[in-house]
């Protein structure tokens, strides 16, 4: 073993903090971007939210300033790290002084460029909902009005606490419950029965069969055939094995139809009416509007803070010295890069959307069934960007089009070959055709996957049975045996 010195030449790819920030902002959704900007404003005192009045001239016209409006030498001076050399440090300070002296308002002001829309053109917003009563609150309110004694109320409260959002008694057994409260199994079972008599009907059941039996006792108390039907043949109903049911219970076809209709009208999830999950509305990142014969792309920047650099800290930077000046310069540099990164993100979203519009003109004119096959490379080559950039831009970003609101990822589809022409068809268009065939089928004689494949081949679409099955499952459509209806 010995020590040696040698020279090695190698290439390495290193990402600067500024590039990392730009990539991070690119893949954020609209809500995440708003949160990120708010966090940056809390951490960086140099960043401020500009008032609307600060962006309007005396004649009322809007002031628009973008990072590209400033000399690149100025931006480079902001981003350049100060070296230890006295000459370089002096030059850096000169850049800062020139930047501040020529500073008017270096800001990010959403809404610049493009076409403004009035409120009538924006997607509708449902009325604001107040907080809904939860299932737990509803059951506890009924418990407070009951005539149960103190021990029974404690057991009932324990049961209610283990009722899930669908309305089922889960996580605990009656044996555990009886042991925990020092009572017999029969005593705990009586309390459970009392809870099951509360509203909504079928609540606190331990499985689907018990839930339906509770509803049968409540709404059809004298129908013993219905109760036997639920107790013995729920699985056969699920499998559409009607012949087995008729043989076992000696039922006529009309009687079987009557029982099946009653069961189908029952509520399998009694707690769903008390679901307190908030509805999350999609806010489009970009709008596509038709003006004449052309489609115009406009960014949606409503709600994004209007960023600017604080005049106070700008003044402090020119007059400060030492550690204070170094701190402000660092924060100033961070603010500049954040503003530039946001501009770059918004411009990239606009470019990608404009490219998608060029490729998917038939979709915009005629609907989803005319969607063209499209891959990330097509858009990347069209706008001169890398595929990974296009992938980040189209993730969790939504566009409002004349055909509805879609995620940008929706427009990228694999190709399905046609049999007698060179024009391929998008997989999403094939899914729409499959769904239409199933919607139009005879309920008593549903189409098999092979039958659907044969019908598509008659429309010049070359597709295998297993591909039909895959697309059907992706759309959460059951198989033909489970789609078969009795009536």
| Ordered DSSP codes for 58-115 | TTSPBP---GGGS-HHHHHHHHSPPPSSHHHHHHHHHHHHHHHHT-S--EE-TT-SS-
Helix 86-101 and helix 311-319, axial crossing angle in degrees, nearest 10 = 140
The strands making up 404-407's β-sheet, listed across from edge to edge, are 294-299, 286-291, 398-401, 404-407
Q: Tell me how far apart the terminal alpha carbons of the chain are, to the nearest angstrom.
A: 87
Residues of the chain with CATH 1.10.10.60: 415-483
- Cα–Cα distance measured from residue 310 to residue 79, given in angstroms and rounded to the nearest whole number: 18
Q: CA 98, CA 77: separation in Å to the nearest integer?
A: 10
pLDDT value for 278: 62
pLDDT given for residue 76 in this prediction = 40
**pLDDT score of 279:** 64
pLDDT value at residue 321: 66
Question: Tokens 């973008």 correspond to what residue?
Answer: 66
429 neighbors 369 (Cβ within 8 angstroms): yes
Q: Measuring CA to CA, which residue among 66, 123, 114 is closest to residue 351?
A: 114
Residue with tokens 């809500």: 31
Q: Could you tell me the pTM of the whole model?
A: 0.63
pLDDT, residue 206, reads: 93
Q: Cα separation of 336 and 365, whole Å?
A: 41
Name the token pair of 292.
């004449």
Given the candidates 1.10.10.60, 3.30.110.40, 2.60.120.380, 3.90.1150.10, the CATH classification of the domain at 415-483 is 1.10.10.60
Residue 24 token pair:
């991070």
Q: Which two tokens stand for residue 271?
A: 């707690």
Mean pLDDT by runs of 10 across the 487 residues of the chain is 81 71 80 86 83 43 43 38 40 46 48 50 48 86 92 94 93 90 93 94 94 94 91 86 88 90 92 74 88 91 77 70 78 85 89 94 90 91 91 90 92 82 81 91 89 89 90 90 78
- In the prediction, which pLDDT does 124 show? 54
């Amino acid at each position: 073993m010995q020590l040696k010195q040698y020279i090695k030449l190698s290439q390495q790819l290193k990402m600067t903090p500024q590039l990392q920030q730009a990539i991070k902002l690119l893949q954020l959704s609209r809500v995440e971007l708003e949160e990120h900007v708010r966090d940056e404003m809390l951490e960086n005192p140099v960043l401020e939210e500009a008032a609307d009045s600060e962006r309007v001239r005396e004649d009322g016209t809007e002031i628009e300033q973008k990072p590209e409006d400033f000399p690149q030498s100025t931006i480079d001076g902001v981003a350049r790290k100060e070296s230890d050399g006295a000459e370089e440090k002096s030059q850096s300070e000169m850049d800062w002084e020139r930047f501040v002296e020529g500073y008017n308002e270096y800001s990010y002001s959403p809404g610049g460029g493009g076409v403004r829309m009035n409120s009538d053109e924006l997607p509708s917003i449902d009325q604001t909902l107040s907080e809904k009563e939860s299932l737990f609150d509803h059951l506890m309110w009924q418990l407070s009005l009951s005539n149960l004694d103190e021990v029974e109320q404690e057991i009932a409260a324990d049961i209610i606490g283990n009722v899930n959002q669908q309305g089922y008694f889960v996580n605990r057994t009656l044996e555990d419950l009886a042991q925990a409260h020092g009572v017999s199994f029969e005593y705990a079972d009586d309390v459970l029965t009392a809870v099951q008599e509360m509203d909504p009907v079928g609540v606190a059941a331990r499985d689907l069969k018990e839930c339906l039996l509770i509803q049968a006792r409540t709404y059809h108390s004298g129908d013993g055939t219905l109760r036997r039907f639920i107790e013995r043949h729920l699985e056969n109903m699920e499998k559409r094995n009607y012949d087995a049911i008729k043989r076992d219970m000696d039922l006529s076809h009309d009687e079987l139809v009557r029982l099946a209709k009653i069961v189908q009208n029952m509520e399998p999830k009694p707690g769903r009416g008390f679901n307190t999950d908030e509805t999350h509305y999609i806010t489009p990142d970009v709008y596509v509007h038709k003006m004449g014969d052309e489609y115009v792309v406009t960014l949606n920047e409503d709600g994004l803070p209007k960023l600017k650099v604080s005049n106070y800290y700008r003044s402090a930077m020119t007059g400060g010295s030492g550690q204070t000046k170094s701190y402000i310069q660092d924060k100033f540099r961070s603010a500049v890069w954040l503003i530039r990164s946001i501009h770059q993100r918004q411009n990239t979203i606009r470019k990608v959307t404009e490219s998608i519009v060029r490729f998917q003109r038939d979709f915009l004119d005629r609907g989803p069934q005319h969607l063209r096959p499209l891959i990330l490379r097509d858009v990347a080559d069209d706008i001169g960007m890398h595929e990974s950039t296009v992938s980040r831009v189209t993730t969790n970003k939504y566009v409002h089009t004349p055909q509805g609101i879609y995620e940008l990822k929706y427009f990228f589809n694999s190709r399905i070959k046609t049999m007698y022409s060179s024009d391929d068809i998008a997989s999403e268009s094939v899914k729409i055709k499959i769904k239409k065939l199933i919607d139009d089928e005879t309920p008593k004689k549903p189409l098999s996957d092979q039958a659907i494949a044969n019908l598509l081949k008659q429309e010049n679409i070359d597709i295998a049975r297993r591909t039909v099955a895959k697309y059907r499952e992706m759309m959460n459509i059951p198989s033909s045996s489970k789609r078969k209806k009795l009536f």
